[in-house]
Structure 1
Amino acid sequence: MTAEEFKIFWTSNYPDTIPIGHHFRHDYADRWFRIHSLPDSRRYPSGPKDWDILLSRQNIILTDLFTNGSPFVLVTGEFYIEGYTDSSATNETASVKPFAFTRLEPIDLHLHDPVNYEKGQIYTLMFTEQVWSHHKYDEILRDVAEDNLRVFFVSICNNCIVAPYDGGMDIILRDSSTRDLYKERYRQWLSSREDGL
C-alpha cells in the first residue's frame, strides 16, 4: 500500500475523522465501543497475572475481528509542536523499530480542529502493512499499555479499527448493528459507566 492508496482508503471509509486514535470515539460514536483490559476496570497491570489477562483479552479481540493470517495496517504517528524539540522518534520505540513505515504528509492539526489544537501543532502519520497472528504483536500492546506508544490497527478487509490505549481498546466497526453484536459478545469486559468509558 502506498501513501496515496492509504489516503484514498482513509477518506473513503473514515471521512469524518483524522487518523489519530482518541478522535475515533467522538467522530464515530454510533460505531464505537470500548473494552477494558483488566478486571474491575483497573488501568495498569500490577504483575504477571495482570499482563496475561491484558494480552489475552486484547489478542482475543484482535483475532476475532481480524482473523489469523489476514492483512492489516498498523498505524502510528508523531506529534510536533513548533518551538519544541522531542528527541525520541515514535518508530525508534523498540517494539515497532523492526517495521518499515511509510510516512504521510504532516497534518496541521490547528487547521483541522482549531478548538482543540493550537497553531504549530503538527502530526505526521506512519503506517506499515502486516499480517495478523495471535500474540505476534504483544510487545507493541505492552508498550501501549505502559503509555510508551500510540498505535491503532486497521483491518482493510473487515473495515474496522482497534485502537488500544493504556487501559483498554477503542473499537470502531463497520456500522452500529455490527458494533452492537460485538458489544454484546464482550459485555463482560465493558465499562459499567453509562457513557461506556
Structure 2
Amino acid sequence: MQQVPEGGQPALPELWQQRWPDCLPVGYKLRDPYRDVWVRFHSLPESKRYAVDESEYAVVLERYNTVLDELFAGTEVYVVTPFGATEPEVPLLEPDAGYWQSLLVEDDPEPEFRTYCHLFAAQLPWQHGCIDKLLRDTAHDKVAGVLVTDSLMQRIYHPYDGGADVFLTTPEERDRMRDRHTDWLSSHPSGL
C-alpha cells in the first residue's frame, strides 16, 4: 500500500491524527474520547453475544453489512487488522498486507514481557459482503481489533464479538443512524 495515495492525500498516520487525535487506532479505546459521535449496535436480538447456528450467523452478517453499507457504499475503505506480537519488528506477511504502524501495548521494563500490536491496512472498494469471512471470525472471537474506515478516516466501524461500535462525523449523524436501528441498541443506560 502506498503511504501517500494518488491525489496527495496524507499518509494514514497523519489522517488518523487529524481526525482522531485523542486516541490511538484501537477500537475499544475510541468510545471514551469520542462518546458524542459513538453508537453501539448489537449483532443478535436481545443482545445475545454469540451465534450458535447458520441462521444466527446470517443475522449477524446482515446487521454488520447493513451498517457498513450505510457508511461506505460506493466508496473505498481501509480495513485495518491487528497482529499481536512480543517483538517490535514487523512480521513478514503477504506483500500487499499494507503495514500501517506498530503500537506498544504493554510496556514492561523487561523486553521479553513487552507486547506490540502491528496494524495492517488494506484499501478496497466497499461491496456488501466483501469482508464477511473477517466479520464472521470477529463475531466468533477469532479476530479482535478490526477497524473499517473510509479513505479520509471520517467514519469508523469497529466490529467485535457481540456487535459493533460506530463512530460518525457529528452527533446529529450518530442520532440518525441510531434511530434507523433502534431494535439493535442495548437496553443498558450507557449504551453498552
TM-score, length-scaled by structure 1:
0.82
RMSD: 2.3
Residue pair 2:81, 2:121 contacting (<8 A) in 1 also: yes
The 3-state SS of whatever aligns with 1:26 is coil
Equivalent residue number for residue 151 of structure 2: 156
CA distance in 2, matches of 1:24, 1:73: 17
Letter in 2 for 1:78: F
Alignment counterpart, residue 49 of structure 1, candidates 48, 55, 69: 55
The 3-state SS of whatever aligns with 1:10 is helix
2:105 pairs with 1:109? yes
Letter in 2 for 1:74: V
Q: Which moved more, 1:162-171 or 1:130-139?
A: 130-139
Give the number of equivalent residue pairs: 178
Equivalent residue number for residue 179 of structure 2: 184
Equivalent residue runs for 1:4-153 within 5 Å:
5-67=11-73, 69-81=74-86, 100-109=96-105, 120-150=114-144, 151-153=146-148
CA distance in 2, matches of 1:26, 1:63: 25
Q: CA deviation at 1:100?
A: 2.4
Which structure dedicates a bigger proportion of its chain to helix? 1
Q: CA deviation at 1:157?
A: 5.1
Letter in 2 for 1:45: A
Q: CA deviation at 1:175?
A: 1.5
Equivalent residue number for residue 8 of structure 2: none
Q: Deviations over 1:2-44 (max 9, x none)?
A: 3461111111111111111111112211110100000010000
Letter in 2 for 1:136: C
Q: Deviations over 1:52-83 (max 9, x none)?
A: 1111111111001111x31000001122346x
2:8 pairs with 1:2? no
CA distance in 2, matches of 1:169, 1:124: 21
The 3-state SS of whatever aligns with 1:169 is strand
Letter in 2 for 1:172: F
For structure 2, the residue ranges without an aligned partner over 5 or more in a row are 5-10
Q: CA deviation at 1:110?
A: 5.1
TM-score, length-scaled by structure 2:
0.84
Letter in 1 for 2:52: S
For structure 1, the residue ranges without an aligned partner over 5 or more in a row are 83-88, 92-96
Q: Deviations over 1:122-175 (max 9, x none)?
A: 221111101111112111110100111121100135710000000000000011
CA distance in 2, matches of 1:73, 1:147: 21
CA distance in 2, matches of 1:156, 1:105: 17
